[in-house]
Amino acid sequence: DLLRRMPPQGQAKTTWVLYETDVINDEAEVPVTVLPTAERRKWQLVWRNIILFGFLHIGAVYGAYLFFFKAMWKTCAFAIFLYLCSGLGITAGAHRLWAHKSYKARLPLKILLTIFNTMAFQDAVVDWARDHRMHHKYSETDADPHNATRGFFFSHIGWLLVRKHPQIKAKGHTIDMSDLKADPVLRFQKKYYLTLMPLACFILPTYIPMLWGESLLNAFFVAAIFRYVWVLNVTWLVNSAAHLWGDKPYDKHINPVEIKPVSLVVLGEGFHNYHHTFPWDYKTAELGDYTLNFSKIFIDLMAKIGWAYDLKTVSTDVIQKRVKRTGDGSHALWGWDDKD
């Protein structure tokens, strides 16, 4: 289960680094080769996506203007509500429940999170989770769909504007997706995605504000377009900013960092050095600080009513050992009980 990456001829540096994929095991240490950069590539631009994302972002700027200056307060509140719901569809749903299996959910919660996830239009959960499992297993290589060693733009949005690197398709078979492919709720979502997604992400968010007298224009640009593009961009920040600028208290050998201000807007997903070190923790953070981890609050609440169970986490002891062994020294508790 431990990943060994082979260097392409003559261009990689070798370091000793612990590299975990899906294993819940903090003890093993193996040598792996970390590729310092991505290989040079010729881009195959996907013009359909470039044009669509271009228009979406222009629409979102207009939507932001309407949000701050023109729309009814109820519409603005509704847009924020949709941001939180669709955000949870990504964080508590696609990410923590499905890609990482960091907790289990009963049917009503699976259905709720699938609805929330469809509102976020980041493609069907099975496809999102497949890319995300590749991102963890082959982090910062060409088999990582949003390889952050290619820089901010590529890992933020650029990767959605070009054809995927052949390595993604070549190594794709090493990812086991049988669990999600067998899930009837996710199969339903995938099968009817092209009907469900427009309804959940654009049509209903435009229709509902009109029930309280909002104009079609305001409803569409604020609750659908601006809210959608906002959620996309904050999600993408976890791929870009949270792989670039910040501290590495848990593992200094990997690129992901802790980026607390981002954590607030990404509902608790900004503790990315922690998350790549301990990907099975349902909190995606050591402390799960309540103010910065809305998704944890949500999962805890679901656990209280019995809809979520088997929440996985990491013991303080394991975290402490890891911080001492591979941390960069920025951990707040750095040096605690140094006697042993």
Cβ burial of 173 (10 Å; 0-12, 13-18, 19+) is exposed
For the chain, what is the radius of gyration of the CA atoms?
Answer: 20
Please report whether residue 238 would count as binding ligand ST9 according to CB under 6 A: yes
Total residues at interface with ligand ST9 (CB under 6 A): 31
Please report whether residue 190 would count as binding ligand ST9 according to CB under 6 A: no
Please report whether residue 130 would count as binding ligand ST9 according to CB under 6 A: yes
Residue 91 CB, nearest distance to ligand ST9 (Å)?
Answer: 5
Please report whether residue 59 would count as binding ligand ST9 according to CB under 6 A: no
- For residues 232 and 214, what is the distance between their CA atoms, to the nearest angstrom? 24
Residue 113 CB, nearest distance to ligand ST9 (Å)?
Answer: 13
Please report whether residue 101 would count as binding ligand ST9 according to CB under 6 A: no
CA 211-200-195 angle, to 5 degrees, is 120
Closest to 205 (Cα-Cα) out of 70, 76, 113, 61: 76
Please report whether residue 180 would count as binding ligand ST9 according to CB under 6 A: no
E runs forming strands in 40-157: 104-105
Looking at the chain, how many residues does it have? 340
Please report whether residue 129 would count as binding ligand ST9 according to CB under 6 A: no
Residue 305 CB, nearest distance to ligand ST9 (Å)?
Answer: 23
Residue 144 CB, nearest distance to ligand ST9 (Å)?
Answer: 9
Please report whether residue 198 would count as binding ligand ST9 according to CB under 6 A: no
Contact predicate 156/237, CB 8 Å: yes
Of 120 and 214, the one with the shorter C-beta distance to ligand ST9 is 120
213-216 LR contacts (CB < 8 Å, sep 24+)? 213/72, 214/71, 214/72, 214/74, 214/75
Please report whether residue 174 would count as binding ligand ST9 according to CB under 6 A: no
For ligand ST9, the binding residue among 50, 62, 115, 123 (CB under 6 A) is: 123
Amino acid of residue 191: K
Give the three-state DSSP class for 274: helix
Name the residue with the smallest CB distance to ligand ST9: 172
Please report whether residue 46 would count as binding ligand ST9 according to CB under 6 A: yes
Q: Which residue ranges make up the site for ligand ST9 (CB under 6 A)? A: 46, 49, 87, 90-91, 95, 121-123, 128, 130-132, 134, 145, 160, 163-164, 168-169, 172, 175, 231-232, 234-235, 238-239, 266-267, 269
